[in-house]
Structure 1
Amino acid sequence: MGWSLEKWQVTLHHAHEIHPHIREIGLLTGYRPESATVQQCLGSLFQPTNETVNFWTHFLAAGYFISQLFHQYEEPLDAAKTGPFIGYLFTAIACPLVSCLAHAFSAISLRVYGVCYLLDYTAVSILSFGTGLLYHSYCFPRHFEDTWYAHWYMTVCFICSTLCMLISCSSRFVSHGRFQDVMRLTAFVIPYIWDTSPLLYRFILEDGLTTEAVLHFLQFFFILLAGFFYGTHLPEIVSPGKFDVIGHSHNLMHVFGSVAIYMQMQAGLMDMNRRGLMNHAMPGRSAIELVTKFTALTVFIVIAYIIAQHRKDYHQSQTDKDR
């Protein structure tokens, strides 16, 4: 008994020593074992593994967005005006926070690994819905205010974000490799195109190049960079083994994705302060309740996926025993 450093450390493995579902293209070393304890998972966050930077980039991002949420509550608030922004901030916190927890504890077992990333994809779909709420509430073109497009925008956003979760979660059931990446990129691109389409109209045909436009377009730029590195597996695919601990594509996706959310938040905050709440927007608590309901629905769906994955694993194990 007593404190022991060994309880908090993991022995790192090479790619050929771990399950194929955990291997990443171009990463040859730095893998944690597939049956680490909770203590070892926590201890590994301070070791040079191929998950360490993934954890800390999103942990710091989540901490920053949490500080912004507290800042909103410290300021004198117009509850009706700021409700949608606070609802969006909850989703901006959930996405990196769930991601860093997934990267921290995915080494407990293969089953936990699968559950962690189902939750991770769910958090991305929740952020997609929160983004739609932010744009619908403060960033819409004035030409579309109180039109049928504005009134149906959140309904379509709900459908697209749900599709995002369904497709990305379904990718866990297909063979590991390029096809998975295509499914996940497709899942994330569909709601992103819908969310941002009114912004493109606003800045190209209505407002022109304003300060808000610069921030929004910087967000577009950084999210495209994040998607580029995620889809191409650069730079590790060019120099396998050179970027195992720091600088691989997933690290870069986290960094550029977090910067994109920061730019999005700043642009939305500027629109909220300068333009106010759009006439068609849901005010105050109603907006926060909408985010809560969507989150509850996605959690329910992902639980169904987890049960389906458990049954698939059980039937596979029974089949293997019968052979």
Structure 2
Amino acid sequence: MLSLKLPQLLQVHQVPRVFWEDGIMSGYRHPTSSALDCVLSSFQMTNETVNIWTHFLPTWFPELESPGLSKVLRTAAFAYPFLFDNLPLFYRLGLCWGRGRDCGQEALSTSHGYHLLCALLTGFLFTSHLPERLAPGHFDYIGHSHQLFHICAVLGTHFQLEAVLADMGSRRAWLAAQEPALGLVGTLVTLGLVVAGNLLIIAAFTASLLRAPGSCPLLHGGPPEGGTRAKHQ
């Protein structure tokens, strides 16, 4: 019978410095894992398991050469759609407060408030690396900032959709008067374009991974000079 062996997990001092995460001391996957190891690790408790199961997005190999730039790009990937999606809300609030009057629930519903709170928590957790910075090694598998960041992002999306539905319900008559409903054909065409766009993005990033060199010095490098063990302070 075919038996599969789960990949070995590494301590922080056993992986190159570029892969170190503040406060995460164990549960690292091997940086040169095979494709089979990557698939198997999805069903193994590592410090990335929760992240993997909360989203399936292709990565981009500049992460290795310019980790700082990668951090900026990943942050912008969340900040840009947040600002774009909320422009109508900010415009509405600006009209209300700019005229010195309170629009109340019409401008900012409870769901809008929860959504903005989750968005702030998402950004804070993504950049602060808390709580693992306060207790290195204690949140390697469950409870570190990247997991909490994903949870807040999912909750924020939920409340954002609830707010959109509430806005549509309260403005249904106005929306119907402005423009007729999209209809089944229009809905299917829009859905098809979105799916096609996502598939093109996945194909482009997958192609870039296939064109990447087979080896990278950063993947095979050891710990930085001056010590072979990570400090636990």
- State whether residues 24 and 140 of structure 2, in contact with CA within 8 Å, keep that contact through their aligned partners in structure 1: yes
Which residue is equivalent to 2:156? 260
- State whether residues 42 and 49 of structure 2, in contact with CA within 8 Å, keep that contact through their aligned partners in structure 1: no
Which residue is equivalent to 1:24? 21
Which residue is equivalent to 2:183? 284
Which residue is equivalent to 1:196? 86
Q: Which runs of 5+ in 1 are unaligned?
A: 59-98, 103-115, 119-168, 318-323
The structure 1 residue matched to 2:213, chosen from 274, 297, 313, is 313
Which residue is equivalent to 1:181? 71
Which residue is equivalent to 2:58? 117
After TM superposition, give the deviation of residue 15 of structure 1 in Å.
1.9
Letter in 2 for 1:13: L
Q: Deviations over 1:67-114 (max 9, x none)?
A: xxxxxxxxxxxxxxxxxxxxxxxxxxxxxxxx1xx3xxxxxxxxxxxx
| Cα distance in structure 1, aligned partners of 2:188 and 2:63 | 30
- State whether residues 58 and 205 of structure 2, in contact with CA within 8 Å, keep that contact through their aligned partners in structure 1: no
Letter in 1 for 2:103: G
| Cα distance in structure 2, aligned partners of 1:284 and 1:173 | 46
Q: How does 1:28-177 map to 2 (within 5 A)?
A: 28-33=25-30, 34-35=33-34, 36-37=36-37, 40-44=40-44, 47=45, 49-55=46-52, 58=54, 99=55, 102=56, 116-118=57-59, 169=60, 172=63, 174-176=65-67
Distance 1:43 1:306, change over 3 A: closer
Q: Deviations over 1:257-314 (max 9, x none)?
A: 1110111121122223332283358613324422431331243244223323332325
Moved more, 225-234 or 301-310: 301-310
Distance 1:13 1:222, change over 3 A: same
| Cα distance in structure 2, aligned partners of 1:55 and 1:173 | 19
| Cα distance in structure 1, aligned partners of 2:118 and 2:48 | 22
1:13 aligns with 2:10: yes
| Cα distance in structure 2, aligned partners of 1:315 and 1:9 | 23
**Secondary structure in 1 matching 2:8:** coil
The structure 2 residue matched to 1:208, chosen from 103, 113, 123, is 103
CA RMSD of aligned residues (A): 3.3
TM norm structure 1: 0.54
Which residue is equivalent to 1:237? 133
Q: Deviations over 1:141-191 (max 9, x none)?
A: xxxxxxxxxxxxxxxxxxxxxxxxxxxx58547423x33212211232123
Distance 1:200 1:280, change over 3 A: farther
- State whether residues 171 and 183 of structure 1, in contact with CA within 8 Å, keep that contact through their aligned partners in structure 2: no
Letter in 2 for 1:40: L
Asked which structure has the greater CA Rg, the reply is 2
| Cα distance in structure 2, aligned partners of 1:234 and 1:218 | 21
Which residue is equivalent to 2:228? none
Greater RCO, CA 8 A, separation 6+: 2
1:250 aligns with 2:146: yes
Q: Which runs of 5+ in 2 are unaligned?
A: 97-101, 218-233
| Cα distance in structure 1, aligned partners of 2:17 and 2:136 | 16
- State whether residues 234 and 249 of structure 1, in contact with CA within 8 Å, keep that contact through their aligned partners in structure 2: yes
- State whether residues 131 and 144 of structure 2, in contact with CA within 8 Å, keep that contact through their aligned partners in structure 1: yes
| Cα distance in structure 2, aligned partners of 1:8 and 1:43 | 12
TM norm structure 2: 0.71
Query: Which structure shows the higher helix fraction?
Result: 1
